[in-house]
Amino acid sequence: MLVLKFILLVLVYFSFQTFSYSKSNDIDVCSIWSNDWKHSIELKELIYTSVKPLGGSNAGKYSKIKVNSWSECVTQCCKFNRCNVAYWISSTCLHIECSSDELCEPMNIANGDNSDDTLYLRVRSVQSTAAAIDYEPGTDECNGTKSCPANEKCEQVSVNAQLTRNICSCDRNNYFRRINGVCRQYLPRTKPCVLYETDYDNNNNNDNDDDDYDRGRCKKNEECLPPNDRAKHGYCQCKLGFIRKDINEKCVIENQEYSSTISLISSTKSTSISSLYDFIVQAGDDQIITLPKHEIDLYGHVLYKSNKSEIDMSILKNQNLNLFWSLKSSTNGAKIDIPNQEDLTSHILVKELREGIYEFELKLNDKHGTTLASDTVKIEVLSAKTTPSPLVVKVSSPVTVHLPQQVIKLEAYVEPSNRQVTYQWTYKNDGPVTPTLENIHRSDLLISNLRSGNYSFQLNVIDSIGNQQTKTIRLIAIGEPIEARVVNHRELVFWPSNDVILDGTPSIIEPQTYIYWTLISNDNKQDTDKIDIISPHSLKTQITNLRIGQYKFLLTLVTNDKKYISKIEVLVIVYSQNGQPPRISIHLETNYVNILNNLIILNATSTTADYGIAKWQWIKNPLNPAMSYFINNSNLSPIAYITNLIEGQYIFILQVYDDRQQMSEMNITVNVNGIPDEENLIEIIFLSKPYLYQQTLDNLLAQIRVFLIDLLPNIEIIMVGMLKENILLIKGKDPKNNLIISPKIIVNHLQNKIKSLRSASNMNILSIDTYLCLSNCSNRGKCDKKTKRCICNKYYMANWFKSIIYREPNCDFIIYYFVIITSVSSISTIVFCWLCLCCCLRWRRRRNLLERRKRIRYQLLDENGDDDESPSSSKEISKNKFHSSKKSKTKISNLIVSESDDNQSDENGEQTLYDKPLLTATSKMNVTKIKSRGLKVAVQDSNVSPVLGNNRQSSRTSEHNIA
């Protein structure tokens, strides 16, 4: 009897749950919800009291919402598309995002008081939420032919390891955020506000926010929106249908012009979504018709974006929205008469179509004529004689894959790509096994459970006009279908722990593969029966009852037909509790290291550790020369190889870590010496090539011996090494006496024959010199080994002449002697140059004076005072002079200056005969000569006529004028 009562009770409970579940699913709670829910019989039947979710805390995600009443709690749940249940308990509003409908079933609270304090309302089912639609596999919200709505962009997300899909997300770069299922503007750093505080009335035009009453309240056309679901405050944002161009500006009505600046550009085949309403318009699929058929039916739909459900036309009519068709474009320029459309007409019949391509647009407009959503459909009309382009299917064949692989993908491409086609993949049953196929009606086929062998797959493609193409793809699988893999090949256990988990889940297996975990060895002589393997036939197992020591376990995978076997070993080490850190021992393998023997080998393989060695780390001391490096990452191995060394001291530090992360450290010092016997070496520098061939090197050494055989018949040229790729070091040796020949003798002999040596050896030799500077620098300095120049002591310097001509560095000159001699020589040179200059100037001055004196010419005038005529010959001139000298005592002769002087007279009427500074000193000497010659100076009057006087007066006047 008790059993019957219990069964009856269970049946009544499940019938009640089924009835309530079907009832809540059939009614749209958000469309009928109102604040007056207590008087609504339909709503009261959906609200439960004194209940809780069947799944409890595991029913889904709980979100605490800060509201003041149960009515606001339900209203907020309706706005949030992911909210499934509105739960009011102890005056607290909770929203539940259910994991499944079964977990959110209402269940009575034990010992409940049946009060109205606990209210429970299932607003929507999980299947109708946006979450279920967002993660629906195989559907893309955007692709190459379908763009995202305004204020959204296309992003690719991963559904699982093999599949991806494209979704539309809000354009956050332009400050858009999805709020209540719509991408709305959400600007940062706006005015903070208090959530659920009453804002200004739309009719209130007072925008002043300086009063205390306005704090926490938003202005006109604004509302307070939280930054996230758990925020306790919000920021003032524009209401739906308004937009703000700047943070400090007011909210204005969102018009078509501004929306175009922030929305993404859609392609021809696109779907636009209103920024004011959560609507989407679909004009249908593209179609192809062939004449003589010249009409077509166009069907359109208006859907909710959140759940893709179709909207009833009455809802659009109540919101004053209009839906109509229009011809957007046509290739043949034809104009199609679309029949008169009533408001909200989603179906029309278009007639009288001609050959070409037509694009029809379906628009959803508001009462102001603004387009809220639109979509286009393309109709291609073919003539009866026109043959469409053939269908071309491209797919790779044969395809070779290497096993093991869990999933293999085959892809096919169709041309033309804009044609609607259907795919059908089939397997021809010619392989060793029957693989598992997925996506057989899509362009990409997923294949799994393959084995080594050849497989054939057939692809059948049919387009919308009946063209059909069939392709056969050959798949070649190589390798084994299974492979054993583990997470860790080496597991560590520290006593007193005695168990470990071995994880082989990364292994690739087939269905019904046999799995075995077995113990193959241990070094502590423990009985095998005492070691427990908890799950020996599972990929992940646990080992217990271990002791201190090492164990080897084997994971074996065997296929169902036992054709393929894969194995892998795992080493388990159990360490004792009182182990010591590693004990390091380093051995230097290279005893003598120099610049030519440029390699250091450090061996630390004799290092021991109680807990095993987990890591090796070689480190260079910071004070080491920086010109060294480890070869092939040997700094992480027990044997280190170091090269590229220079002369100096190197200190290397070895750090060893054990499995318990204990570290030990040890240093070793290595001295790198210079080149041995370097004072006897000869340096040959030649033009570098990619590398020096051995044949070229042998030829060079032989030619050097030939050029030295006249000097030393028994000489032997030995190659010591190469400092760089273009610097060769050699030395000469007398094999009879076993003595090294002086490099200076060899260098002096070869430097005179370097041109001949270049042509004989077929090498571009730049220089031949001793490796070290062997000069004693006149015992007054030290020679630099690299530059081969003398660094002289104080008060000494090099003899440049000897250095340049004989190429021998020296310190012959004493500086102060050199300075004195140079100074005296410089002063003497300057004095000599000055004297020469003075002599030249004096000589030139005297020459100029003589030339000016020779220019003065005098003429004797005749007795008649004729100025214009001159003697016709030199005889007449001398005759006139003779007569004038005789008659000088009795007669007066007129004397005038030469033609080279000017004719101007001074204030006394006398003409200037000489001008300063012409021979002032010699003028006195010539006075007596003038007197003896009886020259008279004529004085002219204002009429330029000579004034005659006695001889005494004339002589006095001439003497005065000459002076």
- pLDDT of residue 270 exceeding 70, the answer is no
Whether residue 858 has pLDDT greater than 80: no
pLDDT given for residue 528 in this prediction: 80
Buried b (16+ CB within 10 A) or exposed e, 734-743: eeeeeeebeb
Strands in 171-233 per DSSP E? 176-179, 182-185, 192-193, 222-225
Instruction: Give the pLDDT of residue 860.
Output: 58
Average pLDDT for the chain: 76
Mean pLDDT for the stretch of residues 896-916: 44
CATH no., domain 26-122: 3.50.4
pLDDT tens per residue, range 65-79: 888 888 889 888 888
Quote the pLDDT of residue 196. 64
Residue holding tokens 């016709």? 872
Tokens of 215: 């704090």
CA distance 715 to 682: 14
Nearest Cα residue to 722 out of 712, 733, 730: 730
- pLDDT over 70 at 246, yes or no: yes
- In sequence order, the 6+-apart residues with CB closer than 8 A to the CB of 560 are 510, 511, 512, 513, 514
* β-strand pairing of 371-382 with 287-290: parallel
- Residue 661 pLDDT: 86
The pLDDT score that the predictor gives to residue 496 is 85
Q: Which CATH number fits domain 279-382: 3.30.70.3340, 2.60.40.10, 2.60.40.290, 1.10.10.10?
A: 2.60.40.10
- pLDDT-derived band at 446, boundaries 50, 70, 90: very high
* E strand residue ranges, 132-282: 152-158, 164-170, 176-179, 182-185, 192-193, 222-225, 234-238, 242-243, 252-253, 279-282
- pLDDT over 60 at 571, yes or no: yes
| Residue-level pLDDT at 136 | 47
592-673: CATH topology is Immunoglobulin-like (2.60.40)
Alpha-carbon gap, residue 233 to 175, rounded angstroms: 19
Q: 791 in helix, strand or coil?
A: strand
Reported in sequence order, the residue ranges of 171-290 that DSSP labels E, i.e. its strands, are 176-179, 182-185, 192-193, 222-225, 234-238, 242-243, 252-253, 279-282, 287-290
pLDDT of 900 higher than 80: no
Does the pLDDT at position 272 exceed 90? no
Segment 181-198 mean pLDDT: 77
Check: CB of residue 424 under 8 Å from CB of residue 459: yes
Tracing tokens 């003398």 back to the chain, one arrives at 790
Helix 754-761 with 743-751: angle, nearest 10 deg = 80
Number of CB atoms found within 10 A of residue 218's CB: 27
Q: Is 655 helix (H, G, I), strand (E, B) or coil?
A: strand
Give the residue with greater pLDDT, 875 vs 614: 614
Res. 505 pLDDT band, cuts 50 70 90? very high
C-alpha 484/C-alpha 507 separation (Å) is 5
pLDDT of residue 515: 93
Note the pLDDT of residue 618: 94
pLDDT mean over 493-505: 90
Would the pLDDT of 639 be above 70? yes
pLDDT in tens, 592-604: 888 888 899 999 9
Sign of CA dihedral 538, 540, 545, 546: positive
At residue 898, does pLDDT exceed 90? no
Mean pLDDT of the region 571-589? 89
CB 471 within 8 Å of CB 486: no
Residue 582 DSSP SS3:
coil
Residue with tokens 């993404």: 264
* Angle, CA 482 vertex, CA 477 and CA 486 arms, to 5°: 135
Pairwise pLDDT comparison (564 vs 342), residue with the higher score: 564
The answer to whether 593 touches 599, Cβ cutoff 8 Å, is yes
> Hey, what's the torsion of the CAs at 183, 187, 188, 192, to 10 degrees?
-100
- Is residue 711 pLDDT above 60, yes or no? yes
**Model confidence at 17: pLDDT above 80:** no
Is residue 730 predicted with pLDDT exceeding 80? yes
Quote the pLDDT of residue 654. 95
Nearest residue to 551 (alpha-carbon basis) of 568, 534, 526, 576: 526
Residue 258: per-residue pLDDT: 38
Residues of the chain above pLDDT 90, percent? 17
Structure tokens at 691: 């590398």
Q: What value does the mean pLDDT take over residues 914-942?
A: 44
Q: State the Cα–Cα distance between residues 904 and 883, nearest whole angstrom.
A: 29
The pLDDT of residue 784? 81
Token pair of 553 as six digits = 């376990």
Q: Considering only 260-274, 598-612, 900-914, which range has the smallest mean pLDDT?
A: 260-274
- Residue 197 banded pLDDT, cuts 50, 70, 90: low
Instruction: Give the Cα separation of 854 and 252 in Å (integer).
Output: 111
pLDDT computed for residue 220 by the predictor: 80
Cβ proximity of 456 and 428 under 8 Å: yes
Residue 278 has pLDDT above 70, yes or no: no
Record the tokens describing residue 955, joined without a space.
């002589």
Query: Is the confidence at residue 875, as pLDDT, over 70?
Result: no
Q: What's the pLDDT band for 180 if we cut at 50, 70, 90?
A: low
Calculate mean pLDDT across residues 168-196.
77
Classify domain 678-772 at the CATH topology level.
Answer: Alpha-Beta Plaits (3.30.70)
Total residues belonging to the chain: 963
Whether the CB-CB separation of 503 and 539 falls below 8 Å is answered with: yes
Per-residue pLDDT, averaged over 362-388, amounts to 80
185/275 Cα distance (integer angstroms): 10
Q: Name the 3-class secondary structure at 317.
A: helix
Domain 490-575 grouped into CATH 2.60.120.260: no
Q: Read out DSSP for 618-635?
A: EEE-TTS-S--EEGGGGG
Contact 507, 516 (CB under 8 A): no
Highest mean pLDDT among 768-777, 874-883, 895-904: 768-777
What is the Cα–Cα distance from 10 to 323, expressed in whole angstroms?
A: 52
pLDDT digits (tens, 9 = 90+) for 83-112: 889 999 988 999 998 877 778 889 888 654
pLDDT digits (tens, 9 = 90+) for 795-827: 788 887 777 776 778 888 877 777 888 888 999
Confidence of residue 551 (pLDDT cuts 50, 70, 90): very high
Q: Exposure of 21 by Cβ count < 10 A (0-12 exposed, 13-18 middle, 19+ buried)?
A: middle
CA distance 596 to 724: 10
Question: Which of the pair, 658 or 262, is modelled with greater confidence?
Answer: 658
Instruction: Name the most confidently modeled range: 9-23, 271-285, 320-334, 398-412.
Output: 398-412
User: For residue 18, what pLDDT is reported?
Assistant: 43
- 3-state SS record for 264-275: CCCCCCCECECC
> 734 CB contacts (<8 Å, ≥6 apart)?
712, 714, 715, 716, 740, 741
Distance separating alpha carbons of residues 874 and 881, to the nearest angstrom: 11
Query: Dihedral (C-alpha) 775, 781, 787, 788: value to the nearest 10 degrees?
Result: 0
Return the pLDDT at 796: 84
Average pLDDT over residues 584-588: 93
